[in-house]
Structures are given as C-alpha cells and as structure tokens.
Amino acid sequence: MAVFSSLTLDRFSRFRKIKRAWYSFLILSFLFVLSLFSELICNDRPYVLSYEGELYFPMFQFYPEKEFGGKYLTEADYVSLRNSDDFQKEGNWMLLPPIPHSPLHSYIDLEGSPPHPPSAEHLLGTDSSARDVFARLLYGFRICMLFSLILAVIATGFGILIGGVQGYFAGWLDIVMQRMIEIWSSLPFLYVVILVGTIYSRSFMILILVLSLFQWIGLSYYMRGEFLKIRNLNYVKVARTMGMPSMHILFRQILPNGLTPVITLLPFQIIGGIAALTALDFLGFGLQPPTPSWGELLSQGLNHLFAPWLAISTVVCLFTTLLLATFIGEGVREAFDPRASSN
C-alpha cells in the first residue's frame, strides 16, 4: 500500500522543479537543523578540559568553580578560567567549540565600552551588554524557528477544527460561530499580550498560547470555504446515507481532500510567527531578557546608531530567513495550483 497518493507525489515533483523554492527549502531546513545543535557549535564551555592531569567534560556535565581552584560551588566561568595564569600552566588545555562564545556571557573585560565593533575574536561585534552578537543571532534564529513552527502547528489545528465544523454543519451554527469569530478578531491583540504577560510573565509558552488564540482565524476562513464546497459532493452524501459518524466524515472523508489551504498557507504562517515574535521583542513585550532575540537586537541597533553592526547583522538575518520562507511558500502554492500541469 502506497504511503502517498499519486496526486501528492505529483505535487511534490512539481515543487522540486521550482528550483528557487526547492533550494530555499533545503537551505532553511539545513540552517534550522544546524541551529538545533547551537550548544555544540557556539558555546564558551569546552568539549573537553584537562586540568592538573584530570579530564573534564564541561559541555555535558556541571563542574563547580571550586573544582578548578576557585572558591565557590557555582558553575565555573570557563572564559575567565582559560585566560587565567593558573590555567595556562603547562599541561592544562581545553577543546572549545568552533565559536567559543555563549549568548549570555558578557565580555566586560574587552577594551573600550560596549557595544564593541567586529573583530577577529567577535566576528559581528558585541551588543550593549558586551555579549557576542553572532552567538545571539544563532540562538535567536533557533528560538524564532521553534516558536513559529509550534505556533503554526497549534494555529493550524484550531483553524482546521473550527473552520471544518463551520463548513460541514453550516446553517445557524455557522452563522453564530462566524459572528463570534468576528468579535474575537476585533480584540486588540497587543493589549491582550501586555495583559497576559503582566499577569503570567512573558515566557516562551505563554507567548505561543496568546498568539495561537489569534493566529488560527485566517486559516479558519479558508477551511470553512473548503468544507462548504466539499460537503455537497456525492461521496460525502453517500457517507451520510451509510450512517457514518460526522467526525469520521469530517476528518477521514473531507479533510484529506481539503488540505490545500493548509499546505499553501503553512509557510506564510511561519513567516507571520517570526515577524510577530520579532516585533514583540522589539517593542519590549516579547521574551524575557536575557533570552537571545532578534527583536531585542534590532531595538539595541535603534538605540545605538553609532554601532551599525547590531542593526545590519540582524536585518540581514531576518530578511534572509523571511525571503527563503517566502520563496518556499510561493513554490508550494504553485505546486498545489490545480490549474498547473502535471507534466
């Protein structure tokens, strides 16, 4: 039994032929998978550390400062340790990641006041708190992508369920639900975010919850239209006469044939999630500091116009990510266009 229908395989083949969309998908997917291993790529904790003849693995295990000649039981500061005279004795060494900087470490010992300009040590400079900009961009990219993907999945689920129920049952239920959606969509989104964030703090999951309460509305309109169209087709009428339950007809008969809006809108929902989180962080209503954030870096760039590397590097990353996602969305929309040739 084939896992995918011939129509699905044909659409995927058409998508691959759209080179701009296919290469954008590969690039964005590669960057996202790479960002999932940010701790192994960009971190100030070494993979392996040799100190006074003993081997340690700080990347994978906690070691107190006292273990390396310090006074406290808090985690060792490996940046200070590798620069200390005591550690630089013969026989001591550490194997660091390719980019030996953490997004949360402040390099306050650098010459001058932050933000520091790009250098061989900090390729994109530091921000206003002397933290490495490249590290914060990398970790911020992972947060943006995870946030937008989770948000898209939740919003898609709500959109399918609510739009499908409206379209399938129609009548008075559709009218009542449509009026309620119109009222809900008129609520000032930003005020809701501020209110909920003030009460429950601005955590990752709280922001996803609040945004998912609004993000599904656009998709529900499309799903309502699809279900209104498909509910009157012959195979659905036959399923009703056979006494199949409504939920079975909704999700097993109609939904597989009405997924085109879901697939074509998914890349644009991801774009919307990235843009929403960046905008909230820029305004100060997003994730709590010191979480790495593109919006927070943009805000720093606005407040420190004499340090253009802050805004330029962040804008380039944001623009590139949104551009790749847009190319993917356009390619998916073209591949799923029923008017397109299967050849």
- Tens of pLDDT along 263-274? 888 899 999 999
Percentage of the chain lying above the pLDDT 70 cut: 97
Average pLDDT over residues 284-310: 93
Does residue 308 have a cis peptide bond before it, meaning omega lies within 30 degrees of 0?
no
Cα of 194 vs its chain's centroid, Å: 21
Checking if the pLDDT of 10 tops 80, the result is yes
DSSP annotation string for 143-176: HHHHHHHHHHHHHHHHHHHHHHHHHHH-HHHHHH
What is the structure's pLDDT at 339?
Answer: 64
> 59-75: buried (b, 16+ CB within 10 Å) or exposed (e) per residue?
beeebebebbebeeeee
pLDDT band at 126 (very low <50, low <70, confident <90, very high): very high
Checking if the pLDDT of 2 tops 60, the result is no
What is the structure's pLDDT at 33?
Answer: 96
Question: In CATH, what number does 6-36+135-335 get?
Answer: 1.10.3720.10
What is the structure's pLDDT at 252?
Answer: 81
Residue range 46-62, pLDDT digits in tens: 999 999 889 999 999 99
* Domain segments of the chain as ranges: 6-36+135-335, 44-96
Checking if the pLDDT of 342 tops 90, the result is no
Residue range 75-123, pLDDT digits in tens: 999 998 988 888 888 789 999 999 999 999 999 888 889 999 999 999 9
Cα of 148 vs its chain's centroid, Å: 4
**d(C-alpha 174, C-alpha 176), whole Å:** 6
SS3 category, 49:
strand
Checking if the pLDDT of 242 tops 80, the result is yes
What is the structure's pLDDT at 340?
Answer: 57
pLDDT band at 239 (very low <50, low <70, confident <90, very high): confident
What is the structure's pLDDT at 5?
Answer: 60
Contact between residue 227 and residue 168 where contact means Cβ atoms under 8 Å apart: yes
Average pLDDT over residues 298-317: 94
Checking if the pLDDT of 8 tops 80, the result is no
Locate 150 and state its tokens. Answer: 């989770």
Q: Is 30 exposed, middle or buried (0-12, 13-18, 19+ CB in 10 A)?
A: exposed
What is the structure's pLDDT at 305?
Answer: 92
Q: Which residue has the tokens 């006041």?
A: 113
What is the structure's pLDDT at 247?
Answer: 82
What is the structure's pLDDT at 69?
Answer: 83
Average pLDDT over residues 281-287: 90
**d(C-alpha 262, C-alpha 200), whole Å:** 31
What is the structure's pLDDT at 197?
Answer: 81
Average pLDDT over residues 177-204: 87
DSSP annotation string for 189-208: HHHHHHHHHHHH---HHHHH
pLDDT band at 303 (very low <50, low <70, confident <90, very high): very high
Average pLDDT over residues 231-260: 82
Q: Which helix (H) or strand (E) holds 93?
A: strand 93-95
